[in-house]
Amino acid sequence: MMASSQLRDCAFVSLTDGAKPTRRLPLAGQDDHVEVTIRPKFTVDSYHSMATGIAQGMGVGVLPIHATLPALLDGRLQRVLPEYRIRQVDVYALMPSTCFLDAKVRSWINHLKSHFANAAKEAAGYELSRRRYSPQAACSAA
């Protein structure tokens, strides 16, 4: 099992975030919370690009589980620190008023609610049935 401190030594793929050379990665475990400072070796502008690069062996990275679940299930991606989680991110849909909400906007909001609710259920099912992998191979190219 990989320790959170070993994450610093991995090649890290990250979303582009201005000119910051390092990033702090807060990790929450069941019994502890740690923060690891990472220096991305590769930066990309989309989660899809991150997932592709990580699956091709460019390094490790933080991806939303609902977007990567198929790749996790078929083994193209592996959880490196399954005992830790990144902070939860809330998703907001902002609009001027709900009094005269356009049908397209209401339909889009309902789609988002359904998508994220289903993704959360699928992710929970994955968490219950996940296989254990050897994460050391993920950092061998660092």
**Chain length of the chain:** 142
What is the average pLDDT across 55-62?
89
Task: Please state the CATH superfamily assignment of the domain spanning residues 4-139 in this structure.
Answer: Periplasmic binding protein-like II (3.40.190.10)
What is the average pLDDT across 65-86?
82
> Would you state the pLDDT for residue 19?
64
> Would you state the pLDDT for residue 1?
55
DSSP string, the chain: ---GGGGGGS-BEEE--TT-S-EEEEEEESS-EEEEEE--SEEESSHHHHHHHHHTTS-B----HHHHHHHHHTTSS--S-TTEEEPP-------S-STT--HHHHHHHHHHHHHHHHHHHHHHHHHHHPPP--GGGGGTT-
What is the average pLDDT across 81-102?
76
Domain boundaries, the chain: 4-139
pLDDT digits (tens, 9 = 90+) for 23-52: 888 888 888 888 888 888 888 888 888 888
pLDDT digits (tens, 9 = 90+) for 4-17: 677 778 888 888 87
pTM attached to this predicted model = 0.64
Percent of all residues in the chain with a pLDDT value above 90, rounded to a whole number? 0
